[in-house]
Amino acid sequence: MGEKNVATEGFTLGVEQHHDDSRDDVPVPSTASNVLLLDDDETACNALLTASEPGDEDVVVVSWDGRVDEHLVRWRAEHEHQPKSVFAVAVGEISRSAAARAGTDDGPSVRTGSTVDVRAVEDPADLTQVGIALTTFLDNRLDGEDRELLVCVDSLTELLAHVPLERAFQFLHVMTVKLSREGAVAHYHLDPDAHDKQTVGTLTQLFDAVLERRDGEWTLRER
């Protein structure tokens, strides 16, 4: 018998989907609000940040990896349209420089043009400020209920480098519930090789679906 996969225990095998990643064919969840992405693959990230009706979406990036500018540049390169709005929370020591490269240089919560808002949170352990930034954006969305809300959180591995698992779990529980109520499709990057199975299993409880790549194939499991 093979070893039990802790990360996907409790997920319904009846909706498991397999896709050959050589075709860049990434399965996108049909109903899940919060997806755990057990890979750092840009193709999967782009697929989960693609709206069903392009041009009618709000895109949100919450980044602990110092690459918020790269995320925004890649999104623009992969899509031939502009979203209704883009909001980013750049978290960590280099968050201000990342925010400047992304289009802001005046500090936190600066509006650049009509579509991009970048908030810098310098302390990567300050989850309160991260939560306030995200909540403020959600509360201020204009007619947001009529638009798709697509969210990327990169990454939980970086988050866990700064706060204990229990605190991260509590923060993510509030975040996933809030985004689910907003009707968002949010995905959260996690490097499974950087954590023990108990940590991965604990975090998995928070999500509606798990997307991972096994032996060259994408596998999606939804609850």
pLDDT digits (tens, 9 = 90+) for 24-64: 588 888 888 999 999 878 889 988 998 887 778 899 999 99
Whether residue 196 lies inside any domain: the answer is yes
Q: What is the pLDDT of residue 142?
A: 63
Q: Residue 132 falls within a domain, yes or no?
A: yes
Quote the pTM value.
0.82
Report the distance separating Cα 126 and Cα 215, nearest Å. 38
Strand partners, 208: none
Beta 209-214 vs 34-38: how paired, if at all? parallel
* Gyration radius from the chain CA atoms: 17
Q: How many domains is the chain built from?
A: 1
What HEC string does 175-223 produce? HHHHHHHCCCEEEEECCHHHCCHHHHHHHHCCCCEEEEEECCEEEEEEC
Low-confidence ranges of the chain (pLDDT < 70): 1-24, 93-115, 142-145
Q: CATH number of the domain that 22 lies in?
A: 3.40.50
Peptide bond between residue 155 and the one before it cis (omega within 30 degrees of 0): yes
Q: Show the CA angle centred on residue 107, arms to residues 114 and 65, nearest 5°.
A: 90
* Rounded distance between C-alpha atoms, residue 25 and residue 176, angstroms: 26
Domain range for 20 is 6-222
Kindly state whether residue 67 falls inside one of the protein's structural domains. Answer: yes
Longest Cα–Cα distance of the chain, Å, equals 58
1 within some domain? no
Q: Is the dihedral of CA 117, 72, 170, 157 positive or negative?
A: negative
- Domain membership flag for residue 53: yes
In a domain, 96, yes or no: yes
pLDDT reported for residue 94 = 59
In a domain, 197, yes or no: yes
Give dist(CA 38, CA 19) in Å, integer: 15
